[in-house]
């Protein structure tokens, strides 16, 4: 392997050496090790791409494209080799087993849940696997399975996840009870991590430790913080995106430009892998039928996520149907709580509302405000609109009590910015809250100055428990 000094003298030779080093690691890994690497990379690399990877070098190529591996930072690959006990290969990356073990708590990318499944797979012998397959019966496909592929299948079918290991516990209890101890240990450590934030001493060492920053070099402080779990995106399909697009009302102004918003949302969520359905000009009765349909939709069981968008007139905490009935936002969201919609339990549910939340202002010729009842200036909390249970996100076009703006031809400030930033930042693997922060910044800088300055500030509220990162669409690479 070329020394650091030699690399500095020739970028081309250095690049070649790095690739050669990866190829040497590949030559030391067989089909079993490739399967292990693919399993550990789930949630971080598209499952479809991993399925088509037949060698370690294929996986390395995906890691390079996802910025999980680079010539300057090879730690994630070192982590994978360490977990799979390929410690002799760490020398190619200039790491020792002790160094990797030391940095895993702060730099590790493989989630505790995935490491648990991997550790369990190591104890599942061929005989134990045969018994598990027999107990699961006809629910499994009639194809040969390894312990890892069985666990991956249960996860894909949403039979198990990081918060629900009941099916796996029952299996282990019947065929190999000692494995339940590992599951119990995982659950205890997960609960402890939630209840006990890093100690002041630990945080001080993260912030000021000389050894940390000398070895991390240009790594940011955020990379030194404990790893946050990410919602699984390995379901049978991404999920449904429902768009309610109200243009014409009984007596209220028509919402010119709303079709531009609906088309933009349809395009971007189809691009993200969702099944999109658009519903134009819904009365209250029609909206309730749509809500009932998707509350009990059978597809939710195999879905990763759910999105519901409403483009209409609105007021404090409410939106309006085309027959001008006020419908509380909270009432719409309540259809999808775990009790009402078990298929979406523990899965992220996103609601985007393009509607005013307060008084209307005299519009500029091609700018309108999606508001009614301008005399009502009472303030309320956005938190009043969102269910108290976990896994919800509500994105409002404006803070409560204020107007939101829509261009008659170009669509609304908020929805257009949301679609633009999803298209721009999903390929960079940004999570949804970071994307919405960028949307806040973008919309807040837009201004209409006809007669008086008119500005707008969106506001998200959420009870998400994990980061929500959409897989990078194929055509974004």
Is residue 393 a contact partner of residue 350, using CB atoms and an 8 Å limit? yes
CA distances from residue 460 to 198, 271, 438 in whole angstroms, order as listed: 27, 23, 12
Structural contact between residues 305 and 237, judged by C-beta atoms closer than 8 angstroms: no
Its pTM surpasses 0.85? no
What domain range is 297 assigned to? 242-476
Say how far apart CA 437 and CA 435 lie, in whole Å: 5
286 catalytic residue (yes or no): no
Q: What is the pLDDT of residue 371?
A: 52
What is the spatial distance between Cα 291 and Cα 202, in angstroms, rounded to a whole number? 47
Helices 147-156 & 166-175, crossing angle to 10 degrees? 150
Residues 276 and 397 in one domain: yes
Identify the pLDDT of residue 370: 60
Q: What is the CATH number of the domain that holds 440?
A: 3.40.50.1460
CA 423, 427, 428, 430 dihedral sign is positive
Measured CA to CA, the distance from residue 458 to residue 21 in angstroms comes to 48
Query: What was the pLDDT predicted at 447?
Result: 61
Sign of the torsion angle spanned by Cα atoms 338, 343, 347, 352: negative
CB 307 within 8 A of CB 350: yes
DSSP string covering 422-455 = HHHHGGGT--HHHHHHHHHHHHHH--B-SSS-B-
pLDDT for 268 equals: 96
* Residue after which a domain boundary falls, among 110, 131, 165: 110
pLDDT (0 to 100) of residue 8: 39
Number of domains in the chain: 3
> What is the side-by-side strand order in the sheet with 314-315?
314-315, 318-320, 326-328
Q: Which residues are CB-contacts of 442 (< 8 A; sequence separation ≥ 6)?
A: 417, 420, 421
Give pLDDT, residue 201: 45
Domain assignment present for residue 157? The answer is yes
**List of the chain residues with pLDDT < 50:** 1-15, 195-226, 360, 362-366, 373-383, 449-453, 477
**Do residues 61 and 191 share a domain?**
no
- Say if residue 346 is in the same domain as residue 293: yes
313 catalytic residue (yes or no): yes
Instruction: Tell me: do 335 and 256 sit in the same domain.
Output: yes
3-state secondary structure of 379: coil
Residue 187: the pLDDT is 86
Handedness of CA 285, 290, 293, 294 (dihedral sign): negative
Residues 328 and 282 in one domain: yes
Residue that is last in its domain, among 110, 139, 170: 110
Give the end of a domain, one of 195, 224, 250.
Answer: 195
pLDDT tens, position by position, 62-117 = 999 888 999 888 999 999 999 999 999 999 998 999 999 988 888 889 999 999 99
- Choosing from 172, 341, 356, 419, the catalytic residue is 356
How large is the angle between the packed helices 258-271 and 413-425, nearest 10 degrees? 20
| CA angle 463–245–250, rounded 5-degree value | 120
Residues 121 and 63 in one domain: no
- Per-residue model confidence (pLDDT) at position 386: 53
Nearest to 355 by CA among 450, 231, 240, 246: 246
Model pLDDT, residue 13: 45
Output the pLDDT for position 2.
36
Catalytic residue, chosen from 313, 341, 407, 419, is: 313
pLDDT in tens, 412-440: 888 999 999 999 999 988 999 999 998 88
Residue 229 lies in a domain: no
Q: pLDDT at position 106, please?
A: 80
């Amino acid at each position: 392997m070329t020394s650091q000094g030699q690399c500095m003298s020739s970028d081309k030779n250095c690049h070649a050496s790095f690739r050669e080093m990866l190829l040497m690691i590949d030559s030391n890994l067989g089909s079993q090790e490739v399967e292990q690497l693919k399993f550990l990379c789930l949630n971080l690399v598209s499952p479809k791409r991993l399925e088509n990877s037949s060698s370690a070098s294929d996986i390395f190529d995906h890691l390079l494209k996802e910025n999980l591996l680079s010539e300057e930072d090879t730690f994630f690959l070192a982590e994978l080799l360490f977990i799979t006990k390929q410690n002799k290969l760490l020398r190619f990356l200039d790491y020792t087993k002790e160094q990797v073990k030391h940095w895993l708590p702060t730099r590790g990318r493989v989630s505790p849940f995935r490491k648990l499944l991997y550790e369990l797979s190591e104890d599942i012998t061929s005989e134990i696997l045969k018994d598990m397959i027999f107990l699961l019966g006809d629910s499994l496909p009639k194809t040969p399975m390894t312990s890892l592929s069985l666990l991956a299948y249960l996860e894909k079918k949403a039979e198990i996840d990081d918060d629900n290991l009941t099916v796996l516990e029952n299996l282990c209890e019947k065929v190999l009870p000692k494995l339940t101890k590992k599951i119990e240990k995982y659950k205890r450590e997960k609960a402890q991590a939630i209840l006990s934030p890093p100690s002041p001493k630990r945080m001080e060492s993260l912030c000021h430790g000389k050894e940390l920053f000398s070895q991390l070099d240009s790594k940011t402080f955020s990379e030194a913080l404990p790893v946050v779990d990410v919602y699984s995106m390995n379901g049978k399909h991404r999920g449904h995106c429902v768009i309610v697009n109200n243009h014409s009302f009984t007596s209220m102004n028509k919402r010119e430009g709303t079709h531009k918003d609906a088309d933009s949302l349809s395009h971007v969520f189809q691009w993200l892998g969702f099944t999109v359905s658009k519903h134009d000009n819904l009365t209250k009765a029609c909206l309730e039928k749509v809500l009932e349909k998707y509350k009990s939709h059978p597809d939710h069981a195999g879905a990763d996520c759910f999105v519901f968008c409403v483009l209409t007139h609105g007021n404090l905490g409410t939106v309006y149907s085309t027959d001008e009935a006020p419908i509380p936002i909270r009432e719409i969201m309540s259809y999808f709580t775990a009790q009402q919609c078990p298929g979406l339990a523990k899965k992220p549910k996103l609601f985007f509302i393009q509607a005013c939340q307060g008084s209307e202002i005299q519009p500029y010729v091609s700018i309108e405000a999606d508001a009614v009842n301008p005399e009502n200036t009472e303030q309320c909390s956005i938190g009043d609109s969102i269910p108290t249970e976990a896994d919800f996100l509500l994105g409002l076009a404006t803070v409560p009590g204020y107007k939101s703006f829509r261009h008659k031809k170009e669509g609304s400030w908020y929805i257009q910015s949301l679609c633009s930033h999803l298209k721009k930042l999903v390929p960079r693997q940004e999570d949804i809250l970071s994307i919405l922060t960028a949307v806040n910044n973008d919309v807040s800088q837009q201004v209409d100055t006809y007669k008086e300055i008119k500005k707008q500030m969106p506001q998200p509220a959420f009870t998400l428990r994990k980061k929500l990162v959409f897989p990078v669409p194929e055509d974004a690479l």
